[in-house]
Amino acid sequence: MSVVAPAVALPPLVEGLPNICGWEAEIAAATAGGDPMALPYTNLTLGDIQAGFAIALHMHQPTIPAGATGQLIGNLQHMFEHPYDGDNHNAGPFAYCYARMGDFIPELVGQGCNPRVMLDYSGTLLWSLQQMNRQDILDKLRLITCDRTYWPHVEWLGTLWGHAVIPSTPIPDLILHIRAWQHHFAALFGLEALSRVKGFSPPEMHLPNHPDSLYALVSALNACGYRWLMVQEHTVETLSGGPIEHKHLPHRLVARNSKGETASILALIKTQGSDTKLVAQMQPYAEAKTLQPTSLGPVTVPPLVSQIADGENGGVMMNEFPGMFKRCTHEIAQTSGSKAGVVACNGTEYLELLAAAGCAEADYPPCQAVGQQQLWTALEQSGSEDVESAIAALQAQDPSFTMAGASWTNDRSWVEGYTNVLQPLQRLSAQFHQMTGSLSAPDLTRQHRYRNALLHNLLLQTSCFRYWGQGTWTDYAREIYRRGQAILTADF
């Protein structure tokens, strides 16, 4: 196994807590490079491709205060310990799903195939695997992440460590989540592996459309070394407010805040549909077969069908995906001798192939978060620069207008009915920044009290506490808030 050893090894655990802070300089250095990451190793040639498809598997389990003595454990561990509750009997199949790409990729590569997959694992899930001592799973992931034979076929996507939905996450905490995930990933797989993580997957595919939240997100992604993110088709619009026309081409997501400042980042657009069924049945491959190269700036490029789905959730992903993934990968291998083929391609690989062919950032069609054109038009017509007043006026005219963002679907809110979680969440975040911001110790982020307080602050923002309605899950949030407040009160 030809593993590339990192120059600096970060400890996976620090005093029993996941490594989510303290090595900011090392993380910044590892993620700052602008050199191509996939291009030197890809075995794809752009001119031979008719169309491509990219699939990503999203994996997540929350951390909950439900251990035998109330300690923080992963929900996967709780499922194993309570096998007769609900669908907890799926704990074993879920655990296998978290590991199985470590089997599939070496198997397919060994058979002469050219597979591709993108992986998105929440920080809470990675910590859970450590807590359970599931080194079997982590070792399989390490193989396809660090072995030069396999990692060109596998791309990791960064995300928010605590699986927080971005629109309702306090803005100062966005970069803390992003850096926490980078710390944790580097501690498990090495700084060199982290340097190759250039794409970002928002939890729940929830893109903020409030100007200040979106600007903060894009600015944080740029500052943390990310080059692109995946967005849901219905969460973005053209700069004129219309639907995206060329959804199989990369776009340039433009974020403009209430002060008029702008930032941008490239975006791959995840098309609409039943996510798990589309990926499990490899529909992106079938759709790519119907597409032809198209113009982008000065060059003709193959379009890319992009999809992401839960990698373990539901019978189709547990049972149908493995066979279909292997079948399609073998089919591509059998037809790869001909020109103008349909291929699997990861996000960074695709974008770097386009850049090498002559596509510049200005060539990508611009887009913005959905609903923003209505806001800019309202501001222009009113002659005001007061964004919040304009939002309030638009909502008064049309109750369906929202600046709460949009996610996988629009039939669920992470805000409505969750005041008893959101208010403590906001209070704990404010208290965390007030207490830690008043300290000037140069090693503050390496201190146990800081890491423990940060951990609870990020955990409270986990989307699961605002998904299942009132009851057990909101009680979990209340307990995490209580513990976080006690840490800040006692230790700061």
Flag whether 357 is in a domain: yes
- Domain membership of residue 119 (yes or no) is yes
| Residue that is last in its domain, among 368, 396, 429 | 368
Same domain flag for 356 and 470: no
Count of C-beta atoms within a 10 Å radius of residue 123: 27
List pLDDT tens digits, range 2-18.
444 445 799 999 999 99
Q: Residue 491's pLDDT is what?
A: 86
Query: Looking at the structure, do residues 215 and 327 belong to the same domain, yes or no?
Result: yes
Q: Is the pLDDT of residue 489 over 80?
A: yes
Residue 436 shares a structural domain with residue 345: no
pLDDT of residue 1: 38
**Pair 208, 130 in one domain:** yes
Q: How many CA atoms lie within 13 A of 131 on its CB side?
A: 24
Same domain, 317 and 421: no
pTM: 0.96
Whether 341 and 429 map to the same domain: the answer is no
Same domain for 95 and 209, yes or no, is yes
Answer yes or no: is 401 within a domain.
no
User: What is the predicted pLDDT for the residue at 410?
Assistant: 65
Residue 413 has pLDDT above 80, yes or no: no
One domain, residues 207 and 302: yes
The pLDDT value given to residue 6:
42
**Residue 451 covered by a domain:** yes
Distance from first CA to last CA of the chain, Å, rounded? 46
Average pLDDT, the chain: 94
- Number of separate domains in the chain: 2
pLDDT digit string (tens) for 339-359? 669 999 999 999 999 999 999
Q: Is residue 269 part of a domain?
A: yes
5 domain residue, yes or no: no
128 lies in the same domain as 240:
yes
Residue 378 lies in a domain: no
Residues 291 and 422 in one domain: no
Domain membership flag for residue 389: no
**Final residue belonging to a domain, choices 314, 333, 368:** 368
> Among 330, 350, 368, where does a domain finish?
368
Residue 409: the pLDDT is 62
Kindly report the CATH number assigned to the domain that includes residue 52: 3.20.20.370
Do 86 and 202 share a domain, yes or no? yes
Q: What is the pLDDT of residues 283-313, one digit of tens each?
A: 999 999 999 999 999 999 999 999 999 999 8
Within 10 A of 394 (CB to CB), how many other CB atoms are there? 18
- Residues 437-486: pLDDT tens digits? 988 888 999 999 999 999 999 999 999 999 888 999 999 999 999 999 99
Average pLDDT estimate for 183-210: 97
Check whether 274 has a pLDDT greater than 70: no
Residues 175 and 92 reside in one and the same domain: yes
Domain range for 195: 21-368
